[in-house]
Structure 1
């Protein structure tokens, strides 16, 4: 029956799906148990996570798959669930009992809180008036304490005590740290009074500011007199200069008029001190006439004028350096405090307040002011120095010494410009002395040239540099060695030295040129080349500042060497007896047949004339080079003499090669003509080469 039921055909369902036979037979009833079980098993998804967990629990229990176990499994599981629910109910019963006890406790706490709140409200109502009165008293007390503190702070900040005023204004009180502290306080009070002027009632601020300004003015006058007193005994050579003096100077800088007065007083004192010291260094005797045996007088030790001037300049430079170092310590060693004070003082000056606000106060340059002060300090010594140096310059009669003095003064001029700036009086003195020394140098040089004018007419027999030029070059070498050690800038050295060359060299070279005009060529070129070579040799070691002049000398030597080449070339042409031949054939070219055809017709190419030319050439060639060198034997540069001769010989060989090419071309043309006509004997066919057999190669060998 089951087999039949399973194998029987399915009947159609109302929804389009097939129906089993049982369903078809009993449409009103549900499926039989077996069919439901099968359907349930078939519809189970083994991929479901809960199903897998159920199987895993069964594995953990270790239950064997038997009929008894399968019947008891549901009952066992249900029993376990019932037991677990019972335990949970028991635990919840305990929790409920605890919650009841907590509720009872909270009710007690609420009751106690309400009782305490009632007591607190009653107490607050009974003490409210007392607390209000106490709060008002405390507020009043706090206000009074605040006013006391403000009054105390105001008095401490805006008012000076009697002791402080006495320390600030009385001359009997010392200028010490306490004085400067009170002074700083007074300046702070005056500045802070500007804040008081911002309130509606300005009386208090104006009164305090007026009283403080009076105290500050008295303090500045006291400080000014004290600084002048200290300047009288101040020793700048002492590296430990009184710090109070430096501090006082910085404070006085806020009053430019007082500060400038102090500087003037100080400069006058230092000028006198340095003048006396310089006089002592020169003579060994002080200005009062007291002799100092510990000093070696410059006037007695330095017998040479150059050393004498150098020692005086060295002393002046050393004094200026020492003065500057001391004043740097005194005035600007502590930063820009003086500059700031002076700037502030200038801004507060009455005339500056009345000036145009757009212009503003002039900016203070501390370094420039320091340089001006040092320049004023050494101005007395500078006057003595100028007088002594002028005397040395005017009494000097030596040309080289005059230039050395000018170069020494130029050295110190550059040195002082770096030390004191371009506007110092000392630098101006150095510039004037240098200009005077150069004028003396030019005057002596012109006088020397005037005395040598007679020698400009006598040319040496060997055509060498004249004696006056050799002496000039010795002086010029000494001058260039002196200038080489100068401090002139590299870019200006050549331009600065050009006037010296114009005075000490150009007149002598011009004299040599005038002497050469009275000499016949090529001796004039040889003489000038010898002079130019001597000048080049003397100037060449100093190319750093004579490069342009060297180029001019070399160009002149090249020009005169070219004239010598022309002279030697003319000598080769004339002495070789080939001048007529060269002159006749130079317009012709072997590349043009018409020119070649003219060659046999030329008178110079006739057999007799050509034979004489060949004989003359043979007589000339053996001693040609020696004879040519004899022409330039007075040229003191043997290498240049040979170079000139070789260049002339090369030109001669080039001309000879042109003649040879024309003669060969003429012979070839004659041979072609004879071959075509079939006439002529062998002697006639020999042509020009038989009469004139010399080749260019032979000429070059013989003239090399």
Structure 2
């Protein structure tokens, strides 16, 4: 495009003199060229590339260059094409030589193919025969290996069978290894039963079943013999016993039978040990303990019961620790064995029992069975102690002690242990005896419930009851039996040891006059509060007592208030003014009332002056038999405060009457005296004197 442009450009400016017609045509052509040049975009890529090429060649824009440019370009194109044709000629020569080599190779390959075909025809039968023989050899070797593996896996030797089933052979590591192998054989027979020919599998399954049954029977008898001489006191219990029990657990029937045999033996052993600890005598003279018998050195009944319970607890802890080492020390292998046994012997599972075996629960049940003999002896001896004593406090302390050990045994053996039923029965028996003894005691002191002491203090029977209540509360506080519901748990004691005596005090209260009856009641309630306030479980009852004390204190305040108003002479004025309203008519009538006449009002004022100096001391003397000096002070102060309010009321009425008469100015100068002049005391003075 660039060459055409420059050629056309040079042609358009060449010095040719055209004709007239040619001049017009050349003029149109020139205008077309100019228009074409002007319309060309210098941003066009082709034009830009052409200009860059011309610039790279270093061509100058001269007339000569423009004339020779197209020729030079065409010359260069022709030269390039010639070089390309020359190169392609060389390539063609090389391709000819390659074709010749390929033809030679094809000929060689054809010759080799002919020779190979001839060799295959000659060696084919030999190779087929060799292949057949090799396959037969491999099949024979495979069958031999399968037979060897089958014999080594599914068949045990005669010596191993003797170790497994003969009772003359010991139960040792070799026995357990052989038993493990036979169990694996028995399990793997399922693979043989899945084949088309099941005869071999059935025969081996039957043989392994007989061997397993004989082995477990041997193990069962051996464990029973070992249980007869097993010493649980030895911390190094034979490891073979533990392993044997874990293995025997796969036969739940045999395992349970061994547990029953063991429980019976341990029950007898613990019963003999407990009897020896109690009396110091035993059928086996070698097993007599060096410690003093409980019955000889525990003279106090509570200590006697406590020592028996402590022995039972110590024996339970030792028994549980020993059995835990024996049955549960190495994980849940027994549980897994029993579960596997129940799956293999579904007929041995109790009807409707689908629960997984719980080793801890089974251990607690076994320990409970071991303690049945001890529990029977403990119940007999404890009931004898409870029934042979008439002390209610002792019965309650025994009940709390039994409750404490009941909770302890519940933590050791679980809440479903049969031993807990024995403790529950003993606790109920002790509480029943406590209630019976308390009722007998209440009946015995009925004759003392008639007369109150001269100092209005709590009567002697009530003091004794509070001492007993203090002992019962202390026993209850030191017991863990009532931790879950301490408040309600002590209500039974209060109902038996406090309520009857409070009722007796109430009967005495009804026979006394005011204020002695309220003073007596408060003294009794204060004594009961002092005992119960020391313990957190008596908080609710202390609140009830404080409410009752407050009710009695209100009555004493009212009594003291009446004493103030009556002794001071103010009651007549209050009674009269209480019937009047605040109307001017009632206020103006005050001076005409009888108590406000000058002579009567002067007498009242004089009585008030005589009363005030010793008013507080005289009032306090009325209730001095109260055992709480603070209450005496508080009650007297409350009554004095009420009296001051009454005096302010009277004073306000007197001032109102005087003010009304002064405003009316109806009186003559000397016809009457002011009420304030006759009754000069002020409420401020009263409060100072009574403070």
Task: Tell whether the structures are fold-level matches, with TM greater than 0.5.
Answer: yes
- Which category describes the TM-score, using the shorter chain as reference length? 0.7 to 0.9
Alignment partner of 1:559 is 2:551: yes
From 639, 647, 665, the equivalent of 2:656 is 665
TM-superposed CA distance for 1:636, in Å, is 1.8
8 A Cα contact 1:285 1:291, kept in partner: no
Q: After superposition, where does 1:267-666 map in structure 2 within 5 Å? A: 267-283=263-279, 286-290=282-286, 294-349=290-345, 351=347, 359=352, 361=354, 363-396=356-389, 398-542=391-535, 544-590=536-582, 592-666=583-657
1:186-240 CA-to-partner distances (Å, cap 9, x unmatched) read: 3333344445445565444433333322222211111111111121222223333
From 206, 212, 215, the equivalent of 2:208 is 212
Question: 1:631 & 1:24 partners in 2: Cα distance?
Answer: 165
Question: 1:540 & 1:350 partners in 2: Cα distance?
Answer: 62
TM-superposed CA distance for 1:425, in Å, is 3.3
8 A Cα contact 1:284 1:291, kept in partner: no
Any idea what SS the aligned residue of 1:327 has?
helix
Alignment partner of 1:694 is 2:690: no
TM-superposed CA distance for 1:79, in Å, is 4.8
**Equivalent in the alignment of 1:257:** 253
Question: 1:460 & 1:671 partners in 2: Cα distance?
Answer: 59
TM-superposed CA distance for 1:138, in Å, is 4.1
Cα distance, 1:415–1:491 mapped onto 2, change above 3 Å? closer
TM-superposed CA distance for 1:361, in Å, is 4.7
8 A Cα contact 1:375 1:426, kept in partner: yes
Any idea what SS the aligned residue of 2:285 has?
coil
Q: Name the Cα RMSD after superposition.
A: 3.2
Cα distance, 1:55–1:642 mapped onto 2, change above 3 Å? same
Question: 2:56 & 2:260 partners in 1: Cα distance?
Answer: 116
Larger deviation, residues 215-224 vs 110-119 = 110-119
8 A Cα contact 2:400 2:481, kept in partner: no
Q: After superposition, where does 1:83-94 map in structure 2 within 5 Å? A: 83-94=79-90
Cα distance, 1:28–1:148 mapped onto 2, change above 3 Å? farther
Cα distance, 1:40–1:333 mapped onto 2, change above 3 Å? same
Cα distance, 1:38–1:433 mapped onto 2, change above 3 Å? closer
Question: 1:512 & 1:475 partners in 2: Cα distance?
Answer: 17
Question: 1:81 & 1:240 partners in 2: Cα distance?
Answer: 111
Question: 1:23 & 1:231 partners in 2: Cα distance?
Answer: 148
8 A Cα contact 1:406 1:437, kept in partner: yes
Question: 2:291 & 2:637 partners in 1: Cα distance?
Answer: 71
TM-superposed CA distance for 1:318, in Å, is 1.8
8 A Cα contact 2:250 2:338, kept in partner: yes
Question: Which ranges in structure 2 are unaligned for 5 or more consecutive residues?
Answer: 1-17
TM-superposed CA distance for 1:303, in Å, is 4.8
Cα distance, 1:279–1:25 mapped onto 2, change above 3 Å? same
Larger deviation, residues 651-660 vs 317-326 = 651-660
TM-superposed CA distance for 1:643, in Å, is 1.4
Question: Which ranges in structure 1 are unaligned for 5 or more consecutive residues?
Answer: 1-21
Question: 1:83 & 1:379 partners in 2: Cα distance?
Answer: 126
1:630-679 CA-to-partner distances (Å, cap 9, x unmatched) read: 111111212211211222222223333333333333333333433xxxx4
**Equivalent in the alignment of 2:43:** 47
Q: TM-score, normalised by structure 1?
A: 0.86
8 A Cα contact 2:252 2:348, kept in partner: no
Cα distance, 1:56–1:350 mapped onto 2, change above 3 Å? closer
Larger deviation, residues 327-336 vs 281-290 = 281-290
TM-superposed CA distance for 1:628, in Å, is 0.9
Question: 1:291 & 1:207 partners in 2: Cα distance?
Answer: 55
Cα distance, 1:192–1:78 mapped onto 2, change above 3 Å? same
Question: 2:651 & 2:41 partners in 1: Cα distance?
Answer: 128
Any idea what SS the aligned residue of 2:234 has?
coil
TM-superposed CA distance for 1:270, in Å, is 1.8
Question: 2:133 & 2:337 partners in 1: Cα distance?
Answer: 52
Q: TM-score, normalised by structure 2?
A: 0.88
Question: 2:649 & 2:567 partners in 1: Cα distance?
Answer: 18
Larger deviation, residues 66-75 vs 506-515 = 66-75
Cα distance, 1:141–1:594 mapped onto 2, change above 3 Å? farther
Cα distance, 1:697–1:608 mapped onto 2, change above 3 Å? same
Question: 2:399 & 2:492 partners in 1: Cα distance?
Answer: 13
8 A Cα contact 1:530 1:635, kept in partner: yes
Cα distance, 1:81–1:519 mapped onto 2, change above 3 Å? same
Cα distance, 1:42–1:201 mapped onto 2, change above 3 Å? closer
Question: 1:490 & 1:384 partners in 2: Cα distance?
Answer: 29
Question: 2:313 & 2:638 partners in 1: Cα distance?
Answer: 60
Cα distance, 1:31–1:296 mapped onto 2, change above 3 Å? farther
Question: 1:162 & 1:288 partners in 2: Cα distance?
Answer: 46
Cα distance, 1:657–1:40 mapped onto 2, change above 3 Å? closer
Larger deviation, residues 320-329 vs 442-451 = 442-451
Cα distance, 1:290–1:157 mapped onto 2, change above 3 Å? closer
Alignment partner of 1:187 is 2:192: no
8 A Cα contact 1:566 1:648, kept in partner: yes
Any idea what SS the aligned residue of 2:579 has?
coil
TM-superposed CA distance for 1:327, in Å, is 1.2
Question: 1:136 & 1:625 partners in 2: Cα distance?
Answer: 137
1:382-417 CA-to-partner distances (Å, cap 9, x unmatched) read: 333334433443444554444333222211111001
Cα distance, 1:381–1:287 mapped onto 2, change above 3 Å? farther
**Equivalent in the alignment of 2:10:** none
8 A Cα contact 1:671 1:685, kept in partner: no
